[in-house]
């Protein structure tokens, strides 16, 4: 009787890898589209929402680009951490930490006014870096599982921000739980296209930096070595712990920077909602981009477009807010399942001779 | 003041029960070597489904059962990904989380904030003969009682039965379990399903016992907390009772404080269990204690002919 | 000719009833390279059958096919004269086959009794812990040893873990026992008693396969011997009695007589002492031994050989030297000054290392050859590239290495795990023999390689010494040590014998030291 057997695949060619990924994404899009069709949308509606509005219309494009600014940064954050096999599911906490640090600089007038914005930027990166760095340190030194620690740090940052917003930082004028509005010199300039602000240069710059770091700098290669084989990396003299610490701290700093772009570019103050809904998108973006920093930019814009479309679906078709999350989940599900074929192969067992 | 204290203590078990159920479920998962980050999604699916069924007039029992069914379906998707397709467990768990939250949003769309009967403690106290504080603690609905018995049962099955022995072997050393004739994939998948049932009951507890309504975002991170509580309870379902009571106590405290009008740093208080868990993780690491409690094969897929 | 064949066939047919196991023409590959390419093996009831072969010959793979861990791609398997095919280890166990693996299949955090219940409860029909305990005691008496049923397995000595494994397979009802390199990790007395036990189990009517690559085990304890090489059977079940060490080792390593390496050319001048290890003590690794007061020194231009059976502290010593294992006391000096503690700093001082486990401690299987080759040059203060590491630079290095070290079948972007053993080792050498090498630590550098690769590696080691390096050669292969080293010491149980000049040393005495120092 022929039998199916599952065995590890030795090597997948580049072309095969690409095809599998593409197949996964296409499958995800088809399933998502089918799902939306069951929710009472027509095919032409789908096309006009997802292609026409998100890219073809200035308002939609504005929204998409603005949204992609922090998404690129959190996607990079997860991607950079994944380079050393460090699961960063704490981008929200790091983003909050960055936003709070930047706000503190504004509220307490730290540093000369001329460079205040830059001080805020550095503070945000320090805050985010610290938030992720302690988790990396705990993993390197104490073998604490980073999935759990980065997760918990989300809540710590969120609670801290709420405590501040309802307490010391509450706007004295109207006593809403928001901070005072930043001074004009403390915000990122608008670029003259809707809400798109100078934060986009930070995002693209960060992507270029990460691209260089991971692909052309020594550290990038050390990270590859640590991810591939930590014992061998240590034996050839790669300071494995330091590399993990560095990459994770950098990842945290990128999320902190995302917090900076939100408070200084969009909200111009700390609000209760600056750090919501980033964890899953960041994972999806990094994963779809296969942790390639330039790929992250593309994936983040695509996901931002999804959010834009989601908002209009909500407005015009009364679809719930969960639409975007559902589509993201379906996409990631299909891509993960497709990747199975990169690592394993299913084949028929060769028939065995029968004993005489 | 005493009133407040009694009310607080009496409300702790019902606050703790969803944590406890979910944590016990995740302990089953992790003792078999599978880390499931999808608990939040499973809970949401169960919470919304059971409310919808109850609203449709199917009665509480059927509502609970269908909630379990919905959660189980999502757990099965996770299990197929993590166990059979060998997708990275963190990733598979995140997918299950997002799918559960997303789909539950769709299901519950338009049915939010509608009160259902759900499950309530019996009217009048069964324990009126006891001191008031104790009676308050014991006067719970049956699902809350179930949570505590379920945790004890999970502990007993894992630590004291042959089934539990095989489950632990699979989580500690899959090749050795395989050599001993245990079907690793089957046990892992079974553990995912069993854990999924408990997480689903946790979700149904939230909507049927706790809120009596469905609101989007109602699970509010409890599934994530359960993931951390597994570590805090060192993969032991009895210790999970203590951990759940700690989180439940803090959660129960907040509404009491707010209604009393006292000026206290509410968010700092809410932060404390997270900090406690973090501190515990770090201290356990310092004394190398956590290392022996965590199942050694947690997160590692197994294929017989694949080199490890 | 016809007549001959059919007579043999008839005899075979008569024998079949006596055979416990017959494996014929078994093929199995992992990816493109075959691990078994038509292997034969037959096992009779009541015998101890030695299965001999170099590392990587396919011994474990063949027995894993028998025990249901691997499914063969092709071939015949008969147990007790009947065709069989095992999809799972459990199915094989049901047929009475029990295997004690090279790396034990015990659940570390569980107790002895729990491990036994896990594996045997169903087959032995135990319904309670008490029953299991009784069965364990009875068998213990029979076998002549006792284990604490409540002891945690990962806290037990290796020899006790092995006893537990043997109990496990016996209690599960095994009549056919496969012991995969049972003596590799044991002390001499322990090995003797384990082999004795194997013998008495066979005499009680079972059939025992003894996988080994030690001639002594074959000549002293087995009835018949099968020799494998490169996935094929070379000697198929010959009586051990007529065998000599020479004939067996020839079968193991290949038909052609092993050509001696030419003696080192020219006169050797040793430079002053470069590496000195002073009273070094270090803790044991998970399944290893602790180091106790290791003392030796290596001069520039010298090959210092450390002989000894694997698992006697060699791995710990190497780790201590390269800087990944902390010392409890003692010192490692380089040119008279203390070595810096970190592996990266030691590397920068000129320390190079060829690990015993190439894929585990040396190469990066998932990364392409060009990254594998260029990584060390990216590290430390003397890094060649700091800000811009280009593909073309890496490719250049990799191409040079591939041609210089004759790595066959390699492109620069091939993942290292796809190289065969010999070529992976050449890649390893190419990476380590980069500029600035002053001390070379080679741990079992020729293990599992074919004869040509062995010679290539050995020639490189000599060349390294000739160029003034201090070479530390750690090997289980006494021939290799004697052939290459200038001085030799023996490691046993975490201790080291005083170094001796190889010209003056008595080989037999070294052999005794390897075995007797316990
Ligand atoms: N699970 C596996 N995956 C890939 N390769 C394997 C696996 N098991 C064995 N091999 C390869 O098969 C060959 C034979 O190995 P093995 O049977 O372990 O040799 P031996 O026991 O004789 O030392 C080696 O080249 C080894 O690398
Ligand atoms: Mg072997």
Is the CB–ligand 1 distance for residue C35 below 6 Å?
Answer: yes
Is B167 among the domain residues?
yes
Whether residue A328 contacts residue C56, with contact meaning beta carbons closer than 8 Å, is answered with no
Contact B87 A336 (CB under 8 A): yes
* Separation of CA C408 and ligand 2 centre (Å): 25
Question: From CA A255, how far away is CA A261, in angstroms rounded?
Answer: 10
Best of B19, B106, B108 to mutate (most A CBs within 10 Å, chain A): B106
Instruction: Judge: C90–B169 Cβ closer than 8 Å, yes or no.
Output: no
CATH code, domain with B102: 1.10.3470
pLDDT at position C358 over 50: yes
Does the CB of B291 have a partner CB in chain A at under 8 Å? Answer: yes
Does residue C258 register a pLDDT over 70?
Answer: no
- Comparing C186 with A330, which gets the higher pLDDT? A330
Give the domain extent around B16.
9-110+142-296
Q: Given an 8 Å threshold on Cβ–Cβ distance, is C108 in contact with B162?
A: no
Instruction: Decide which of A153 and B131 is more confident.
Output: A153
Q: What's chain B look like in SS3?
A: CHHHHHHHHHHHHHHHHHHHHHHHHHHHHHHCCCCCCCHHHHHHHHHHHHHHHHHCCCCHHHHHHHHHHHHHHHHHHHHHHHHHCCCCHHHHHHHHHHHHHHHHHHHHCCCCCCCCCCCCCCCCCCCCCCCHHHHHHHCCCHHHHHHHHHHHHHHHHHHHCHHHHHHHHHHHCHHHHHHCCCCHHHHHHHHHHHHHHHHHHHHHHHHHHHHCCCCCCCCCCHHHHHHHHHHHCCCCHHHHHHHHHHHHHHHHHHHHHHHHCCCCCHHHHHHHHHHHHHHHHHHHHHCCCHHHHCCCCCCCCCCCCCCC
A276 close to B (CB below 8 A): no
Does the residue B136 lie in any domain? no
Over 70: is that where the pLDDT of B258 sits?
yes
| Cβ contacts of A228 on chain C, cutoff 8 Å | 364-367
Q: What is the pLDDT of residue A52?
A: 78
Q: How far is CA B138 from CA B128, B130, B206, B239, in A?
A: 10, 10, 19, 20
pLDDT confidence of residue C513: 77
Q: Do C118 and B177 touch (CB under 8 A)?
A: yes
Distance in Å, alpha carbon of A135 to nearest chain B alpha carbon: 10
User: pLDDT tens digits, residue range B16-68?
Assistant: 999 999 999 999 999 999 999 999 999 999 999 999 999 999 999 999 999 99
Q: Which ligand is nearest to the CA of B306?
A: 1
Return the pLDDT at A213.
96
Tell how far the Cα of A349 is from the centroid of ligand 1, in angstroms: 19
On the question of pLDDT at A6 being above 80, the answer is: no
The separation between the first and the last C-alpha atoms of chain A, rounded to the nearest angstrom, is 17
Scanning the structure block, which residue is given the tokens 């039998």?
Answer: A3
The C-alpha atoms of residue A79 and residue A282 are separated, in whole angstroms, by 9
Identical fold between C12-253 and C273-360+438-517: yes
Which atom of ligand 1 lies nearest, measured to the CA of C102? 21
Mean pLDDT on B228-247: 94
Cβ contact C105–B179 (<8 Å)? yes
- Residues in chain C with CB shorter than 8 Å from the CB of B305 are 30, 69-71
d(CA B141, CA B145): 7
Reported as a pLDDT band with limits 50, 70 and 90, residue C266 is: low
pLDDT at B288: 66
| Segment C333-350 mean pLDDT | 90
CATH number at residue A167: 1.10.3470.10
- Is B217's Cβ below 8 Å from some Cβ in A? no
Q: Residues B40, B100: contact at Cβ < 8 Å?
A: yes
What number of other Cβ atoms are within 10 A of residue C236's Cβ?
A: 15
Q: Are B31 and B167 in contact (CB under 8 A)?
A: yes
C58 lines ligand 1 (CB under 6 A): yes
Tell me if A145 and B294 make a contact (CB, 8 A cut-off).
Answer: yes
Is C448's pLDDT higher than 60?
Answer: yes
| Residue of chain A minimizing CA distance to B101 | A322
CA of C60 to the centre of ligand 2 (A): 4
Does the pLDDT value for residue B228 go beyond 80? yes
From residue A329, alpha-carbon distances to A258, A313, A323, C320 in Å are 23, 17, 10, 48
Residue of A nearest to C374 (CA): A221
**Residues on C contacting B at a C-beta cutoff of 8 Å:** 30, 69-71, 88-90, 93, 99, 101, 104-110, 114-115, 117-119, 121-123, 168
Rounded percentage of chain B residues whose pLDDT exceeds 70: 98
The residue nearest atom 27 of ligand 1, judged by CA position, is: C56
**How would residue C471 be classed by pLDDT, with cut points 50, 70 and 90?**
very high
ipTM of the complex: 0.92
Span from the CA of C209 to the centroid of ligand 1 (angstroms)? 18
Give the pLDDT band of residue C516 (cuts 50, 70, 90): low
Total domain count, chain A: 1
- pLDDT band at residue C57, thresholds of 50, 70 and 90? confident
User: Which protein residue's CA is at the shortest distance from atom 25 of ligand 1?
Assistant: C56
Q: How far is CA A229 from CA A195, A210, A245, C118, C280, in A?
A: 45, 22, 16, 33, 28
Q: Does residue C61 line the site of ligand 1, with CB under 6 A?
A: yes
Q: By CA distance, what is B177's nearest residue in C?
A: C107
Pairing of β A344-348 and β A4-8: antiparallel
For chain C, the structural domain boundaries read 12-253, 273-360+438-517
* Structural domain containing residue A213: 67-302
Burial of C192 (0-12, 13-18, 19+ CB in 10 A): middle
For the domain spanning C273-360+438-517, the CATH number is: 3.40.50.300
Q: Please indicate whether, in this complex, the C-beta atoms of A232 and C363 are within 8 angstroms of each other.
A: yes
Assess contact for C40 and C24: CB atoms under 8 A.
yes
Give the model's pLDDT for residue B291: 54
Q: Which of A217, A231, A239 sits opposite C387 (nearest CB)?
A: A217
Instruction: State in Å: Cα C233 to ligand 1 middle.
Output: 15
C55 ligand 1 Cβ < 6 A: yes
In this structure, is residue A210 part of a structural domain?
yes
Q: Does the pLDDT value for residue C518 go beyond 50?
A: no
Contact residues, chain B, for C115 at CB < 8 Å: 180
CB contact under 8 A, C74 and A216: no
Judge if the beta carbon of residue C422 lies within 6 A of ligand 1: no
The pLDDT tens digits for B113-140 are: 899 998 988 887 778 888 888 888 888 9
A250 domain-assigned? yes
pTM across the whole model: 0.91
* φ, ψ for residue C51, nearest 5 deg: -115, 110
- Confirm whether B32 is domain-assigned: yes
Does C56 contact ligand 1 (Cβ within 6 A)? yes
pLDDT at residue number C251:
79
Q: Is the pLDDT of residue A341 over 50?
A: yes
What CATH number is given for C12-253 in this structure? Answer: 3.40.50.300
CB contact under 8 A, B162 and C117: yes
Q: Which atom of ligand 1 is nearest to the CA of C420?
A: 25
In this prediction, residue B29 carries a pLDDT of: 98
Does B206 have pLDDT greater than 90? yes
Is the confidence at residue B286, as pLDDT, over 90? no
Domain count within chain B: 1
Q: Is C300 in the pocket of ligand 1 (CB under 6 A)?
A: no
Provide the pLDDT for residue C1.
38
Ligand nearest, relative to CA of residue C37: 1
CA distance A258 to chain B (A): 22
* Cα C390-C394-C400 angle, rounded to 5 deg: 150
Measured torsion, CA atoms of residues B95, B97, B101, B103, in degrees rounded to the nearest 10: 40
| Residue matched to tokens 């390197």 | A140
**Mean pLDDT of the residues in chain B:** 92
């Amino acid at each position: 009787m022929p039998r199916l057997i599952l065995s590890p695949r030795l090597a997948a060619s580049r072309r095969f890898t690409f095809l599998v990924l593409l197949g996964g994404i296409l499958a995800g899009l088809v399933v998502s589209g089918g799902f939306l069709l069951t929710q009472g949308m027509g095919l032409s509606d789908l096309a006009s929402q997802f292609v026409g509005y998100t890219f073809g219309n200035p308002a939609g494009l504005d929204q998409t680009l603005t949204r992609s600014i922090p998404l690129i940064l959190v996607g990079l954050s997860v991607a950079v951490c994944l380079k050393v096999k460090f699961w960063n599911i704490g981008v929200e906490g790091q983003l909050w930490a960055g936003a709070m640090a930047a706000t503190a600089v504004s509220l307490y007038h730290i540093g000369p006014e001329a460079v205040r914005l830059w001080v805020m930027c550095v503070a945000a990166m320090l805050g985010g870096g610290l938030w992720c760095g302690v988790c990396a340190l705990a993993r390197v030194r104490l073998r604490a599982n980073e999935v759990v620690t980065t997760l918990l740090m989300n809540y710590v940052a969120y609670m801290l921000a709420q405590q501040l917003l309802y307490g010391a930082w509450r706007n004295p004028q109207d006593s809403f739980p928001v901070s005072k509005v930043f001074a004009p010199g403390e915000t990122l300039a608008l670029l003259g296209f809707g809400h798109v602000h100078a934060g986009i240069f930070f995002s693209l710059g960060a992507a270029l930096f990460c691209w260089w770091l991971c692909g052309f700098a020594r550290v990038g290669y050390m990270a590859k070595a640590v991810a591939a084989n930590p014992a061998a990396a240590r034996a050839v003299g790669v300071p494995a712990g330091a590399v993990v610490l560095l990459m994770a701290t950098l990842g945290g700093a990128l999320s902190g920077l995302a917090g900076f772009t939100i408070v200084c570019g969009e909200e111009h103050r700390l609000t209760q909602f600056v750090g919501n809904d980033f964890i899953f998108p960041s994972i999806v973006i990094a994963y779809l981009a296969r942790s390639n920093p330039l790929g992250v930019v593309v994936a983040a814009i695509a996901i931002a477009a999804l959010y834009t479309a989601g908002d209009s679906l909500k407005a015009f078709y009364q679809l719930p807010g969960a639409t975007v999350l559902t589509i993201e989940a379906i996409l990631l599900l299909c891509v993960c399942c497709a990747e199975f074929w990169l690592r394993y192969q299913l084949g028929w067992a060769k028939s065995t001779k029968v004993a005489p | 003041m005493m009133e407040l204290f009694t009310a607080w203590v009496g409300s702790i078990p019902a606050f703790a029960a969803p944590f406890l159920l979910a944590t016990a479920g995740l302990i089953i998962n992790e003792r078999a070597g599978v880390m499931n980050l999808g608990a939040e999604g499973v809970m949401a699916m169960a919470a919304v489904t059971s409310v919808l069924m109850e609203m449709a007039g199917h009665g509480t029992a059927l509502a609970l059962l269908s909630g379990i069914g919905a959660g189980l379906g999502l757990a099965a998707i996770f299990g197929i990904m993590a166990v059979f397709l060998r997708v990275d467990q963190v990733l598979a768990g995140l997918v299950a989380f997002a799918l559960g939250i997303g789909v539950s949003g769709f299901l519950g769309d338009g049915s939010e904030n509608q009160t259902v009967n759900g499950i309530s403690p019996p009217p009048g106290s069964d324990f009126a003969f006891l001191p008031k504080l104790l009676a308050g603690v014991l006067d719970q609905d049956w699902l809350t009682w179930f949570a505590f018995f379920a945790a004890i049962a999970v502990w007993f099955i894992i630590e004291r039965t042959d089934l539990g022995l095989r489950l632990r072997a699979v989580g500690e050393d899959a090749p050795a379990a395989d050599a001993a004739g245990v079907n690793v994939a089957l046990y892992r998948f079974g553990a995912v399903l069993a854990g999924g049932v408990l997480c689903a009951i946790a979700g149904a507890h939230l909507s049927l016992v706790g809120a009596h309504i469905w609101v989007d975002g109602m699970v509010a991170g409890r599934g994530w907390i359960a993931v951390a509580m597994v570590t805090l309870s060192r993969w032991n379902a009895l210790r999970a009772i203590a951990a759940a009571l700690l989180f439940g106590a803090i959660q129960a405290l907040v509404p009491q404080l707010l209604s009393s009008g006292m000026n206290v740093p509410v968010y700092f208080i809410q932060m404390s269990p997270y900090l406690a868990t973090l501190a515990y993780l770090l201290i356990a690491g310092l004394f190398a204690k956590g290392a022996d409690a965590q199942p050694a094969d947690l997160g590692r897929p197994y294929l017989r002919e694949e080199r490890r | 000719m016809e007549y001959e064949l059919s007579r043999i066939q008839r005899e075979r047919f008569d024998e079949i009833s006596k055979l416990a196991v017959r494996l014929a023409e078994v093929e199995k590959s992992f990816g493109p390279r075959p691990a078994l390419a038509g292997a034969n093996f037959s096992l009779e009831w009541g015998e101890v059958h030695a299965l001999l072969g170099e590392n990587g010959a396919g011994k474990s793979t063949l027995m894993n096919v028998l025990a249901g861990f691997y499914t063969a791609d092709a071939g015949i398997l008969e147990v007790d004269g009947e065709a069989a095919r095992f999809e799972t280890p459990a199915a094989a166990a049901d047929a009475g086959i029990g295997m004690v693996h090279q790396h034990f299949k015990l659940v570390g955090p569980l107790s002895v009794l729990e491990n036994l219940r896990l594996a045997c409860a169903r087959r032995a029909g135990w319904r309670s812990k008490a029953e299991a305990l009784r069965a364990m005691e009875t068998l213990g008496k029979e076998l002549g040893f006792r284990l604490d049923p409540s002891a945690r397995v990962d806290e037990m000595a290796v020899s006790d873990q092995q006893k537990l494994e043997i109990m496990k397979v016996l209690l599960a009802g095994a009549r056919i026992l496969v012991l995969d390199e049972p003596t590799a990790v044991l002390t001499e007395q322990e090995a003797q008693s384990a082999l004795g036990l194997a013998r008495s189990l066979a005499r009680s009517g079972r059939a025992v396969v003894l996988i080994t690559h030690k001639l002594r085990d074959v000549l002293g304890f087995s009835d018949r011997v099968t020799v494998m090489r490169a996935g094929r059977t070379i000697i198929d079940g010959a009586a051990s009695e007529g065998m000599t060490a020479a004939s067996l080792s020839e079968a193991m390593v290949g038909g052609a007589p092993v050509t001696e390496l030419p003696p080192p050319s020219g006169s050797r001048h040793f430079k002053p002492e470069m590496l000195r290890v002073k009273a070094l003590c270090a803790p044991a690794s998970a399944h290893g031994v602790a180091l106790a007061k290791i003392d030796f020194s290596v001069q520039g231009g010298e090959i210092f050989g450390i002989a000894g059976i694997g698992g006697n502290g060699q791995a710990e010593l190497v780790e201590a030297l390269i800087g990944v294992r902390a010392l409890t006391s003692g010192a490692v000096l380089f040119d008279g000054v203390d070595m810096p503690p970190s592996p990266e700093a030691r590397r920068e001082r000129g320390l190079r290392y060829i690990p015993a486990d190439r894929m585990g401690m040396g190469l990066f299987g998932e990364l392409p050859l060009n990254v594998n080759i260029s990584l060390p040059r990216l590290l430390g203060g003397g890094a060649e590239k700091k800000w811009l590491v280009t593909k073309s630079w890496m490719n250049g290095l990799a191409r040079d290495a591939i041609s210089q070290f004759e790595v066959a079948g390699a492109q620069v972007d091939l993942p290292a795990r796809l190289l065969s053993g010999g070529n992976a080792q050449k890649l390893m050498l190419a990476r380590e023999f980069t500029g600035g090498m002053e001390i070379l630590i080679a741990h079992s550098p020729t293990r599992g390689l074919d004869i040509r690769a062995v010679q290539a590696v050995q020639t490189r080691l000599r060349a390294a010494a000739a160029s003034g390096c201090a070479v530390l050669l750690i090997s289980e292969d006494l021939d290799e040590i004697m052939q290459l080293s200038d001085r030799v010491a023996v490691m046993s149980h975490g201790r080291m014998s005083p170094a001796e000049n190889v010209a003056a040393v008595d080989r037999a005495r070294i052999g005794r030291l390897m075995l007797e120092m316990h």
